[in-house]
Amino acid sequence: MPDAVCQSALVTDLYELTMAAAYFDNNFQATASFELFVRSLPRQRSFLLTAGLDQALDYLENVRFEASDIEYLRSLPVFAHVSDAFFDYLRNFRFTGEVWAMPEGTAAFAEEPLLRVTAPIIQAQIIETYLLSVITFQTMIASKAARIVGVADGRSVVEFGTRRAHGPEAGILAARAAYVGGCVGTSNVAAGTRFGIPVFGTLAHSFVMAYDDEEEAFRKFERIFPEHAVLLVDTYDTLAAIDKIIDMGLRPKSVRLDSGDLLELSKQVRRKLDQGGLRDTRIFVSSDLDEYRIEELLKRGAPIDAFGVGTALATSYDAPALGGVYKLVDVHTGEGPSSRAKFSHEKLTYPGRKQVFRFHSENGKYDHDVIGCEDEKHPDAEPLLERVMTAGKRVGPGPTLSTVQQRARQQLARLPEHVRPLIGAQPYPVTFSPTLKKLLESVRERIGSATQRSR
C-alpha cells in the first residue's frame, strides 16, 4: 500500500526551524496555542467543507527528524551560532501537544478556526507549514467537490483529475477530498487502495486508436469487461460509433462522450440508444467539466446520467488556493498576560483560544455561527471544535471515510438555501462574540501602550 503523504519533519519552511533555534537558545519556555483558519473565502466560494484532518494527525503522530536531516541542517551557514543542544533536541523531537479541530466533513466559513494546536511553542511552530498545506488543500478540494456534486443533483460525479493535479500525491489527496465532498469515487487507483474509495474507469481513446477499426476495439474490450465497459464513443465520430454499437449487438453499461457539443450530442445519443433498444445504457460525460457547465447542461435538459470531472476539481481551478493561516493566539510563559493578537494593517487576528458555536433555526437548518472564547457558554449552540489529540496521540480512532462523506452530506443539507447557489450566494452569518471583542480590545491596549505610541 503506497504511503499517501510524505511525512518528513523537513517538509517545513526554514523559518520554523530558525525560530525554533532562537526559542531554544534563548531558553524561551512557553506553551503556545495556534489556530488554523481561512482569512477570507475566494469570491467564488460561499462555504468550506473541512478535510485533511486525518493526514494532519498521522503526521503529528509520526513527525521525526532523521539523522541525515539534522546533518543537513547543521551544514547550513544560517545555523552557525546555534548550540549543539538544539540539534540534540531535534534528534528527540516528538509532537506532544493537544489538538482541537472540526471533524472532517464540517461546513465551515472564513475566520473560523478549523484546528487549534496547544503545545510547547517550538513544537507548535515547526508543524505549521505541513498542517497548512495538508488541511487547506483537502478542504479546498472537498469544498469544490461539494459545489459540483450539488449541481449534479443526484447524478454521480467521479473525480478524474490526477493527471492534472499538482503532482502524484496531490492527485491522491484530491481524490480523497473529492470523495468527502460527495463524489462517488475516483479514477485514482492509489487512492482506492489507500482510502477504500470506489474506483472508476475503463478505456481511453488510445485503446480505440490502437486497433485498426473502432468495432474491433469495442469488441475486444467488451469481451474482457462484459458488465463494466463504459465505451468511449468520440474517438472519430460519436454518432457513427453509437450506430456501430447498436449494429454489433453490444449492450454496454454506459457510453462516454468526451468532446464536442455535449448538450446536442447527449440528446442525439440518448435518442439513438433508445431507438436501438439500449434504454439501460447510461450516458457518462467528461471533457473539461466544472459546476457551471454541469448546471448549464442539466438546465437545458441534457440526458446525462453521470459526470467525470478532472482538472476543475483536482486543482480547484477557479480558486486554486485558500488563504489558510496559522496564527499565534495565546502564549503561557508562567508570567504576564497570555493572549496574543496581530494588528498590522489588513491582517488583524483575534487573540485567545476560541470555539465556534453554531446556532440552528427552528427548521433544522443552520442559522448563524458565533466565534467566541473557548470557555464561553452558549447552551443553545453546537460547539464545532472537538478535542482530537492529547499528548501527541489521537483521542480515539477517527471515523471511516464513508462516515465523513455522510457527515458532509448532512452538513450541506442543513446550510441555508441562500448559501448554496453557485453565483450570487449570500454570506452565511458569522460574528465574533462580545467577550472575544473585549479581549481583542484589551490586547490592543496592552500592545498599543508598548508599541504604537512609541513611534
- Chain positions 376 to 415 lying near a second copy, rule: CB under 8 A, are none
Should residue 235 be labelled a site residue for a second copy when binding is judged by CB under 8 A? yes
From the list 96, 129, 402, 442, which residue makes contact with a second copy (rule: CB under 8 A)?
Answer: 129
Does 244 help bind a second copy (rule: CB under 8 A)? yes
Q: Judge whether 230 and 257 are in contact, CB under 8 Å.
A: no
- Per rule CB under 8 A, is residue 264 in the interface with a second copy? no
Q: In whole angstroms, what is the distance from residue 290 CA to residue 147 CA?
A: 9
**In sequence order, what DSSP letters do the residues of 52-95 get, joined into one string?**
-HHHHHHHHHH----HHHHHHHHTSGGGTT--HHHHHHHHT---
Q: What is the DSSP letter of 281?
A: -
Q: Which of 44, 74, 87, 199 binds a second copy (CB under 8 A)?
A: 199
Crossing angle for the helix pair 84-91 and 14-25, to the nearest 10 degrees: 120
Q: How far is the CB of 160 from a second copy (least distance, A)?
A: 7
- Using CA atoms, how far residue 375 sits from 277, 357, 372, in Å, is 65, 11, 8
CA-to-CA dists, residue 357 to 150, 165, 360, angstroms: 25, 35, 10
Asked whether position 117 contacts a second copy by CB under 8 A, the answer is no
Separation CA 384–CA 33 (nearest Å): 18
- Check residue 132 for interaction with a second copy (CB under 8 A): yes
- Does 246 interact with a second copy (rule: CB under 8 A)? no
Our CB check for a second copy shows the closer of 337 and 434 to be 337
- Asked if residue 22 binds a second copy (CB under 8 A), the reply is yes
Rounded to an integer, what distance in angstroms lies between the CA atom of residue 214 and that of residue 210?
A: 9
User: Toward a second copy, which CB reaches closer, 170 or 395?
Assistant: 170
| Interface stretch with a second copy, choices 226-234, 290-298, 393-401, 409-417 (CB under 8 A) | 226-234
Q: Are 195 and 176 in contact (CB under 8 A)?
A: yes
Q: Give the separation between CA 390 and CA 89, rounded to whole angstroms.
A: 21
With contacts defined by CB under 8 A, how many residues of the chain interact with a second copy? Answer: 132
Site for a second copy in 354-373 (CB under 8 A): none
15 binds a second copy per the rule CB under 8 A: yes
| Binds a second copy by CB under 8 A, chosen from 87, 120, 156, 205 | 205
Contact pick of 195, 200, 357, 428 for a second copy (by CB under 8 A): 200
Closer CB to a second copy, residue 7 or residue 442?
A: 7
